Homo-oligomer: A and B are copies of this chain.
Amino acid sequence: MIPDSSADSAARPIAIIGGTGPAGTGVALRWARAGETIIIGSREAQRAEQTAKIIQQKAGPGAKVSGMENSAACAAANILVLTVPFEGQAALVKQLKPAIAPGSILIDATVPLAASVGGRASRTLGVWQGSAAQQTAELVPEKVSVVAAFHNLSADLLNGDAPLDCDVIVCSDDPEASRLARQLAAKIPGVRALDGGKLENARIVEQITALLIGLNIRHKGHAGIRITGLPPQAYR
């Protein structure tokens, strides 16, 4: 059962696993501002609580942001967003597996950057399953839907106040989970969400992040991507 994105947001909190890094705090901030109930997950509960407090303050008085240890965050939510470096991804998903409830959706933003093994952030590693998201899909419990999304958003810009100038391409084998992730993406100001098809297509979307990092290094910016040439209904 996919959580209903139109339900009262307190009834379906979003847990950001590994949410104390820049990508995690960035989406947390934007969703908190949009009225979502956010749980920041971290290895250490105290660190999660501290980060939650900072996001709460940035997001404003009405924001609902709390912090918990990662397993507790998983257990408290049916929408999980994974924002950890690739080198920690598989071990963390294995560790959290017992805490992930059937019917949850796990939105994976992991990019297999070569930086994970001491290489460059503008290069990627080959993942046996095809993509970091497909690796995750092998590791989650049954009846948990994996969605790949949010790879190409600049963490720096997410943590700021301006609208973003970037599309989010969403890949999943579960159309309803994809739809929920697209609805959440569209709550970030400036973001348009696009159905990118099956989870296997995540391999390309993940690679794009490495290209954008290379462009940032070369041209000193915060690169994002827009898809042009599609009809307006593609972004629904």
Contacts and interface: CB of A to CB of B under 8 A. Distances in A.
A160 to B, nearest CB: 12
A230 B223 contact: yes
Interface residues of A, number: 40
A85 interface: no
Interface in A193-236: 194-197, 200-201, 203-205, 207-208, 210-212, 214-216, 218-231, 233-234
Given A197-B214, A214-B196, A215-B194, A230 B221 contact: yes
Given A204-B210, A207-B207, A211-B205, A228 B165 contact: yes
Contacts of A229: 154, 157, 165-166, 221-224
A116 interface: no
Given A215-B196, A215-B227, A231-B220, A201 B122 contact: yes
A166 B228 CA distance: 7
B223 A197 contact: no
A140 interface: no
B221 A231 contact: yes
A211 B215 contact: no
Given A214-B197, A229-B224, A219 B204 contact: no
Given A196-B211, A201-B211, A212-B227, 13 more contacts: A166-B228, A195-B218, A196-B214, A197-B215, A204-B207, A215-B230, A216-B230, A219-B233, A219-B234, A221-B231, A223-B228, A223-B230, A224-B227
